[in-house]
Amino acid sequence: AEGGNLSNNIHQTFVLGQQHGADFFDKDGKATFTSDGAVAAVKQYIDFMAKDKIIAPGNAEYAQNQSLTD
């Protein structure tokens, strides 16, 4: 995971959000980023680094493709 990479963060949050039942937009196209499922997804992704140490905490600073060269 590359925490400094916006597209990676969006992808990870979307995947986890789907697992938590989140829809990021309602039927009218309005953002629902503060829904319970979306918030749970962001928290889980952060916890993977900060709490659970499943992802190395240093990865939070990685930029695009930096993890491939370290």
Q: Does residue 36 lie in a domain region?
A: yes
pLDDT 10s digits, 2-18:
666 677 788 888 999 99
Q: Does residue 42 lie in a domain region?
A: yes
pLDDT 10s digits, 18-70:
999 998 899 999 999 999 999 999 999 999 988 998 887 777 776 766 666 66
pLDDT for res 1 = 64
Spatial CB neighbours of 37, under 8 Å, sequence gap ≥ 6: 17, 20, 21, 22, 23
pLDDT for res 7 = 77
Give the count of domains, the chain.
1
Residue 46, domain extent: 6-59
Q: Does residue 34 lie in a domain region?
A: yes
